[in-house]
Structure 1
């Protein structure tokens, strides 16, 4: 990435993200990259001119602050710490003599988001200096301001993850609550995602007019590179009367934005995309062992995540489906960033309605997988306002065990959903009895040679004579022969249950006294009478 003046970086991020506490000894310090200060091995190998994010540094702890300042000074890097501004003058007097440029980060801003924003801004500036980049010059923020000045509206540029990668900041621009919250959070507000994903925007080759109730009118155009959708560009206007005929201008701006966003994709996370593709191919059974090891670091722990069952369910309309899909995409992003911040180099994939994360065990940070998952689920609950269930496997070191791990995780997530389990992290090893039982029942259901045939006769008799022998036997066996519990579940008298059991023995040759036959009957009943 191209080095950027620290002041320009702060200006691009805006005061609601960072502000300058101390400019440092250099007249114009530059930033060429970003690293996490708690990744000590990485920091020691970091080139000068980086911004170190002081994750976990409490400025009230002077010893911790001094240690962070020494690390930044030793590596000729700038330091970012979380604190409210203005700060005490005594603290500034402690910082200035070190000569370290220090930024104050908004305490409400997650470190992972700061990391992504800084990386994005630096990559956008690098795209500007790329000989194959935009012929018009300027980064995405400059482009947004240029378009805003031409058409007279407020511009925002989003990627496909609903992250706002750039926006105009000219004086006296029109603003509504959606734009205000989007800029503060650097992403499309959750209640506006369904409107943001409007098909007429994303599938059209022209500029679309869109107005959300209670918001300013907007024009939107999709940002594409060939058939690949990279994001979208939106312009808000004060009222309908002020919306100009500016379709060609916005389409040209979208083409310029596409050049920058392609550069972002290349530069910000090429390795991450390679790992994600390799994991997706492996989990779908489309990769060989060599393909996997070329893109994913093994051994690793596979994690599967799905949304927890909500009380009362959730609406099934198109808007709700779009919000669920958007939440899963944001969960992928959150999982990758949080894993990175805690010392892992993960691979992630969204398949269906489940997110899979592969966390390498070799060279991982000091935080265990369990702690990472608890942290991630807590962050997802607060950031996405949704609760998730996560299941992790033991460490796997090759393709075949990885596929078996996914099979076990899928079975565990199915089981937890059926049981309406509480949100949280689970392990396949703790659920091994349930997983073995599910596999046994699945095998019996799918292979007639593993069945005695008695349950088919029971069900045929029940269907023909409106009896309930199959369900009665299953309840009795599930309660280990406890007549009181079984009759309570079926809402029948105990004597009625005993009568049905005797009749089943007489009519079908059921032997409830033989342990082997009881076991086989239980498996067959579970396989053929349950969904």
Structure 2
């Protein structure tokens, strides 16, 4: 149901919306009934995300959204709490016993689409109540975000949009004849503010200010008056008013200050819903990467075919990220990057499970590791991440996996590849496990040998001790000779020596250590290379 289709509830009494209205408005692709023991006319109130700590919260007539696998006992508890309807996710549980229990308990049971997040469903139900609800007067005008947006548009004199911190358009005004530009129109259609070169600077200015601020005119969009929405000093989102051909009203800044105060509790509720959705998604994602739980069902809940090929991608920062990390924690930055990756994959219609684990962005993607499209997507996300949350981002890509059952192995491979590309042997920003065999081996040997001080042990220590005692330059000579693949002429050029001089030096060195023995040569080459890796700067 679109907000533009809202009814003028001033001309008629309003008794709220029912389960039937909810089902008809959102449609069977979004939510469908499993049990309606009292029919579709049961009145419903606000949506609420189920939380085991909400024992003292009034849930009368609530639409209870239940992440995870609800139990029969939860339905009995919902009846005692006077919940109007319980919503479960398709595929999360076996619906038959739950449906029978709901009919026995006498509570409406609905099933929402696997493709819809809890935050999105919360927003849809809230928006439905908003657009079918009454237009209230004075300080009660903030009964919902859409009516608040219309109220601000009328009082401020321009089209209004209310957004969260992720620049999602939560609500907008629908006053006939209001002027909007292409940026606002695209934002409404896509429910997200489109990319623009000035976005980062503009939003930073709004979130830094304590009152409404003007965003200057640009060639491709109209001037805007904007204000941050805060709760106890914590930013939750923003409200934007477009200046059309006519100037905004003189009281527009004051109207926005009041609107920000009224919008704060609504945005706080939506944040709670989003947090619950992220927690549930992170739990399913964690099971997928650990190889635990009902993996087939979890894979299908993300739109992945369990037996189809897949690739794991891990995106993280190198160990010395630039100072301009925009003040975000590692976890928050990873969540932001995961949103960018999910949007990019969605635009190419690639099925994927995307989220954040241990401060890194992780994804299982239904395509091959050597897919050119995948490389394009990863490169684009890394570039956009640098623009939005600072630089230092790298990606590790697993080998192509036979199916989702191999995700734990792919996760290990992707993390190993990320470790290489973030380390002293890294080149570029994307590391693919299938082409990193040599550096992976060297790093594994380095890790194994470091604990025994083997890098400085014999046979290399014999040469370095001779240099210390006799003032020779055998270690550097060895390094250049090995780097030249034992080619005397090339090594002599690098050392600025005559080839005969180098041959003489090598004969003298052979009296110290047997450089003609292939095993000794291998050990010396390995020790010298691992020393270089151990001392090279990262990145």
2:426 is the counterpart of 1:448: no
Q: How far off its partner does 1:492 sit?
A: 6.4
Change (3 A) 1:31 1:391: same
Q: Cα deviation per residue 1:35-84 (whole Å; 9 max; x = unaligned)? A: 7xxxxxx99x9xxxxxxxxxxxxxxxxxxxxxxxxxxxxxxxxxxxxxxx
Change (3 A) 1:307 1:235: farther
Residue of structure 1 equivalent to 2:160: 155
CA contact (8 A) 1:279 1:292 kept: no
Instruction: Determine the C-alpha separation between the residues in 2 that align with 1:466 and 1:236.
Output: 77
2:511 is the counterpart of 1:527: no
Instruction: Determine the C-alpha separation between the residues in 1 that align with 2:325 and 2:177.
Output: 33
Equivalent pairs, count = 407
Instruction: Determine the C-alpha separation between the residues in 1 that align with 2:354 and 2:463.
Output: 49
Instruction: Determine the C-alpha separation between the residues in 2 that align with 1:478 and 1:518.
Output: 12
Unaligned ranges ≥5, structure 1:
10-27, 36-41, 46-112, 309-313, 360-366
Q: How far off its partner does 1:147 sit?
A: 1.7
Instruction: Determine the C-alpha separation between the residues in 2 that align with 1:513 and 1:416.
Output: 30
Map 1:264-279; keep pairs closer than 5 Å.
264=270, 270-276=276-282
CA contact (8 A) 1:161 1:326 kept: no
CA contact (8 A) 2:122 2:270 kept: yes
Instruction: Provide the TM-score with structure 2 as the length reference.
Output: 0.54
CA RMSD of aligned residues (A): 5.9
2:204 is the counterpart of 1:209: no
Instruction: Determine the C-alpha separation between the residues in 1 that align with 2:425 and 2:454.
Output: 30
SS at match of 1:444: helix
Instruction: Determine the C-alpha separation between the residues in 1 that align with 2:116 and 2:292.
Output: 35
Change (3 A) 1:529 1:125: same
Instruction: Determine the C-alpha separation between the residues in 1 that align with 2:364 and 2:161.
Output: 33
Q: Cα deviation per residue 1:250-306 (whole Å; 9 max; x = unaligned)? A: 3443344444445555667854542336758999xxxx998999x976999632136
Instruction: Determine the C-alpha separation between the residues in 2 that align with 1:291 and 1:265.
Output: 28
Residue of structure 2 equivalent to 1:18: none
SS at match of 2:398: strand
Residue of structure 2 equivalent to 1:476: 481
CA contact (8 A) 1:127 1:263 kept: no
CA contact (8 A) 2:119 2:274 kept: no
Q: Which of residues 25, 32, 36 is equivalent to 2:27? A: 32
SS at match of 2:362: strand
Residue of structure 2 equivalent to 1:408: 416
Instruction: Determine the C-alpha separation between the residues in 1 that align with 2:494 and 2:147.
Output: 68
Residue of structure 2 equivalent to 1:57: none
Residue of structure 1 equivalent to 2:516: 513
Q: How far off its partner does 1:332 sit?
A: 1.7
Instruction: Determine the C-alpha separation between the residues in 1 that align with 2:367 and 2:200.
Output: 36
Instruction: Provide the TM-score with structure 1 as the length reference.
Output: 0.55
CA contact (8 A) 1:155 1:235 kept: yes
Q: How far off its partner does 1:528 sit?
A: 2.0
Residue of structure 2 equivalent to 1:107: none
CA contact (8 A) 1:120 1:264 kept: yes
CA contact (8 A) 1:396 1:402 kept: no
CA contact (8 A) 2:160 2:239 kept: yes
CA contact (8 A) 2:229 2:239 kept: yes
SS at match of 1:195: helix
Change (3 A) 1:379 1:411: closer
Task: Name the stretch that deviates more: 144-153 or 259-268.
Answer: 259-268
Instruction: Determine the C-alpha separation between the residues in 2 that align with 1:465 and 1:212.
Output: 73
CA contact (8 A) 1:282 1:403 kept: no
Q: Cα deviation per residue 1:198-240 (whole Å; 9 max; x = unaligned)? A: 2x64356x32525357476544333345676433223344699
Q: How far off its partner does 1:529 sit?
A: 2.7
